[in-house]
């Protein structure tokens, strides 16, 4: 049984969320708090496995609560917020930076039918988060993930470098990805010599907030790809919301509403395979933390085309699913802790 603590100041929203969660035989809401202050008092008594919190609340908001929880009682936190539609959705991503693991948009309507639409995604996310190991974070600690030592599975050695004329970097991520992307992309200088394409699985409505949040941390320009435009140096591109991102025969962006692949649109594998077809040995593929196997076959395509591939190691992943699948296919030429990925990208792109 997965024990959940709900933190929500709206009585209507709390009642509907509680009903949804208790409908699953694997979940049990063990406590409900109207403010972050109440939640902090409940945590040591109830010992929840997962905390679901809103952002805007009286006395102590979701950001302050997340910071306190990660400093005092670290455990997985899911943000359920309607703030994605507010003027500054970046607030939601500040919670991820403070230690929250994932986000889910809260329905604007207060009817049961509105909440039924998020029932299964909500239950699925909580089940995934219940198995995530989290670490204590200082309240002023701004790095998205704690630094990890290189493990025995890491193959990061100077002799493993293969000289190549790198022209593109493609990165895929899912659960835990926003924090991992910030960690990597914020380390890259404005003079990084090749364009970057990123595919992040994220709930509908949060893409622009992600782009804005990364923009504050990155020296490179972060933007949503536009059809008919070629990737340019100095830019980090994301697919338009709900669309696959590919490259046509001229190397220009092609955005499509083709059916989801493995339940995902955008799909990391779709983008990676397209990058492999156009750039072949001039591409670097990076697969980061995430549940499932999206991106594994795409990374295999990059590797088969002579490109260079990197999988995030298990110790630094929030969820090791996608990198694990790529490693199982033999698609990862390097298996690295998160902290080591940006330095290798810098080295490879400058060769």
* Residues 46, 166 within the same domain: no
141 found inside a domain: no
- 23: CATH: 3.40.50.2300
Let me know if 134 is exposed, middle or buried by CB neighbors in 10 A (0-12, 13-18, 19+).
middle
Neighbours of 10 (CB within 10 A): 16
* Residues 195, 91 within the same domain: no
* Residues 50, 120 within the same domain: yes
Q: What's the sign of the alpha-carbon dihedral 42, 203, 277, 226? A: negative
152 found inside a domain: no
* Residues 85, 180 within the same domain: no
Dihedral Cα 328, 329, 333, 335, nearest 10 deg: -20
Number of domains in the chain: 2
187 found inside a domain: yes
* Residues 243, 109 within the same domain: no
Which DSSP category does 307 fall into? -
153 found inside a domain: no
Which domain does 335 fall in, by range? 158-349
* Residues 340, 196 within the same domain: yes
Residue 242 in contact with residue 199, Cβ under 8 Å? Answer: no
* Residues 122, 162 within the same domain: no
* Residues 122, 179 within the same domain: no
What distance in Å separates the CA atoms of residue 186 and residue 199, rounded to the nearest whole number? 17
Residues labelled as active-site residues: 174, 201, 294
- 268: CATH: 3.40.50.180
Residue 138 in contact with residue 165, Cβ under 8 Å? Answer: no
* Residues 118, 188 within the same domain: no
Coil/strand/helix, residue 24: coil
Q: What angle do CA 241, 243, 249 make, to 5 degrees?
A: 130
**φ, ψ (nearest 5 deg) of residue 214:** -65, -35
* Residues 298, 249 within the same domain: yes
* Residues 288, 193 within the same domain: yes
List the chain pLDDT tens, one digit each, 351 residues.
999 999 999 999 999 999 999 999 999 999 999 999 999 999 999 999 999 999 889 999 899 999 999 999 999 999 998 765 565 667 788 889 999 999 988 887 778 888 898 999 999 999 999 988 776 665 543 333 333 333 333 333 333 334 448 999 999 999 999 999 999 999 999 999 999 999 999 988 889 989 999 999 999 999 999 999 999 999 999 999 999 999 999 999 999 999 999 999 999 999 999 999 999 999 999 999 999 999 999 999 999 999 999 999 999 999 999 999 999 999 999 999 999 999 999 999 887
């Amino acid at each position: 049984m997965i024990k959940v603590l709900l933190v929500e100041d709206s009585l209507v929203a709390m009642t509907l969320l509680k009903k949804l969660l208790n409908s699953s035989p694997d979940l049990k809401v063990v406590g409900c708090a109207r403010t972050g202050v109440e939640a902090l008092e409940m945590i040591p008594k109830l010992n929840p496995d997962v905390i679901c919190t809103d952002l805007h609340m009286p006395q102590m908001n979701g950001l302050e609560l997340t910071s306190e929880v990660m400093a005092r009682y670290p455990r997985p936190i899911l943000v359920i917020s309607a703030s994605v539609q507010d003027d500054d959705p970046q607030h939601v991503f500040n919670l991820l930076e403070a230690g929250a693991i994932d986000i889910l948009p809260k329905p604007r309507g207060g009817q049961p039918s509105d909440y039924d639409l998020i029932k299964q995604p909500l239950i699925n996310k909580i089940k995934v988060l219940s198995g995530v190991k989290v670490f204590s974070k200082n309240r002023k600690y701004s790095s998205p993930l704690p630094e990890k030592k290189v493990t025995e599975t890491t193959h990061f050695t100077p002799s493993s470098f293969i000289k190549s004329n790198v022209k593109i970097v493609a990165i895929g991520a899912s659960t835990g990805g926003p924090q991992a992307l910030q960690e990597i992309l914020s380390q890259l200088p404005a003079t990084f010599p090749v364009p970057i394409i990123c595919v992040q699985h994220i709930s509908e409505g949060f893409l622009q907030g992600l782009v804005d949040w990364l923009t504050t941390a990155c020296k490179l320009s972060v933007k949503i790809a536009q059809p008919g435009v070629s990737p340019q140096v100095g830019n980090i591109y994301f697919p338009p919301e709900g669309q696959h991102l590919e490259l046509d025969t001229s190397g220009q962006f092609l955005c499509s509403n083709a059916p989801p692949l493995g339940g995902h649109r955008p799909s990391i594998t779709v983008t990676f395979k397209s990058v492999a077809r156009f750039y072949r040995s001039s591409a670097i593929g990076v697969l980061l933390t995430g549940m499932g196997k999206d991106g594994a076959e795409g990374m295999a395509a990059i590797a088969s085309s002579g490109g260079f591939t990197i999988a995030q190691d298990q110790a630094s992943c929030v969820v090791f699913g996608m990198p694990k699948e790529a490693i199982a296919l033999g698609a990862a030429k390097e298996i690295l802790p998160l902290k080591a990925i940006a330095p290798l990208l810098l080295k490879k792109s400058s060769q």
